[in-house]
Amino acid sequence: MPTVALHRARLHTLLLEAIGDRVVRTNQRVVGCEQHQEKVTAVCASGERIEADLLVGADGLRSTVPRAVD
Ligand SMILES: Cc1cc2nc3c(=O)[nH]c(=O)nc-3n(C[C@H](O)[C@H](O)[C@H](O)COP(=O)(O)OP(=O)(O)OC[C@H]3O[C@@H](n4cnc5c(N)ncnc54)[C@H](O)[C@@H]3O)c2cc1C
């Protein structure tokens, strides 16, 4: 199997280009989440609420999401 080595920043750029603009949002700290019927809402420190069908907690070792849904 071939191995490809590339700089992390280059990988980020390639992934961002592949999914297009306005998909990845930065500078948003999730402080909680709420489940209601078939939807889930991520509550941000900024006060913004982002509703979706699915919320994946990929926020590292001290993830906020599992604590919020327990
Ligand atoms: C010093 C050090 C060296 C390491 N070296 C290696 C190595 O050589 N090889 C290896 O395989 N692993 C290494 N690791 C481990 C590796 O870094 C982790 O296993 C990996 O980064 C975990 O990925 P993750 O996506 O789960 O979390 P993370 O990489 O921690 O990403 C979590 C992301 O979520 C964001 N986030 C956190 N809280 C919130 C919130 N409330 N709202 C919104 N966003 C939030 C963070 O800003 C971050 O961008 C190392 C770790 C450390 C600390």
Question: Domain ranges in the chain?
Answer: 8-69
Residue 31's pLDDT is what?
92
20 lines ligand 1 (CB under 6 A): no
- Distance of alpha carbon 13 from alpha carbon 22, whole angstroms: 14
Residue 20's pLDDT is what?
85
Distance of CA 26 to the CA centre of its chain: 9
60 lines ligand 1 (CB under 6 A): yes
Residue 48's pLDDT is what?
94
Atom 47 of ligand 1, nearest CA residue: 59
- Distance of alpha carbon 47 from alpha carbon 32, whole angstroms: 11
Residues of the chain with pLDDT under 50: none
Q: How far is the CA of 35 from the centre of ligand 1 (A)?
A: 26
Residue 17's pLDDT is what?
92
